């Protein structure tokens, strides 16, 4: 699926503003993609403040949220009904040339992925939020990337949802 040229500016302007929350209701989305993966209904949501993924019993939000302190955990885990949820986040800063190359790879990966959603924010073709989802042997997993050209930082997350 090709990238969506978003018209709304992004509200999170650096990786440090992102927070992680489970169980939030749907925020207004700039773009939504509904899928069925590994027998579960999945909704990928691009927000002006980053992303939400709804998969089975999970409602994951990684975004700049009013009233919630920024800062992502390196890892989080929780059980939902008959599912085990695991989340990891990693933030890295790159030199300008490497940042551009990495953003190009993220865009290419999302463009060529059958179960993806990604948007390019106005102001820079390197201001990207991308989400991909994959079936796994016992469930599914998804990856997200949030790129910040002004600081040359990339936030990458990886989530697994597995049947217990």
Residue 132 lies in a domain: yes
Task: Note the Cα 6 to chain centre separation in Å.
Answer: 16
Residue 2, pLDDT score: 58
Residue 78 lies in a domain: no
Domain boundaries, position 42 = 4-73+85-163
Counting the structural domains of the chain, the total is 1
d(C-alpha 82, C-alpha 160), whole Å = 14
Residue 30 lies in a domain: yes
Question: 134: part of which helix (H) or strand (E)?
Answer: strand 128-136
Each residue's pLDDT, cut to its tens digit, for the chain (164 residues) gives 557 777 665 555 678 889 999 999 999 999 999 999 999 999 999 998 899 999 999 999 999 888 888 899 999 999 998 999 999 999 999 999 999 999 999 999 999 999 999 999 888 889 999 999 999 999 999 999 999 999 999 999 999 999 99
Burial 121-159 (b: 16+ CB within 10 A, else e): beeeebbbbbbbbeeeeebbbbbbbbbbbeebbbbbbeb
Residue 80 lies in a domain: no
Residue 79 lies in a domain: no
Residue 14 lies in a domain: yes
Residue 9 lies in a domain: yes
d(C-alpha 105, C-alpha 124), whole Å = 16
Residue 46 lies in a domain: yes
DSSP, res 155: E
């Amino acid at each position: 699926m090709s990238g969506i040229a978003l018209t709304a500016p992004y509200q999170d302007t650096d990786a440090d503003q992102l927070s992680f929350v489970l169980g939030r209701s749907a925020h207004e989305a700039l773009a939504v993609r509904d899928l069925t993966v590994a027998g579960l209904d999945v909704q990928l949501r691009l927000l002006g403040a980053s992303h939400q993924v709804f998969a089975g019993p999970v409602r994951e939000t990684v975004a700049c949220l009013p009233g919630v302190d920024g800062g992502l955990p390196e890892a989080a885990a929780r059980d939902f009904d008959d599912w085990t949820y695991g989340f990891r986040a990693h933030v890295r800063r790159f030199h300008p040339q490497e940042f551009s190359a990495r953003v190009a790879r993220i865009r290419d990966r999302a463009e060529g992925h059958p179960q993806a959603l990604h948007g390019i924010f106005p102001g820079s073709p390197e201001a990207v939020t991308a989400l991909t989802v994959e079936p796994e042997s016992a469930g599914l997993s998804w990856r997200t990337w949030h790129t910040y050209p002004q600081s040359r930082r990339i936030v990458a997350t990886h989530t697994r949802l597995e049947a217990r």
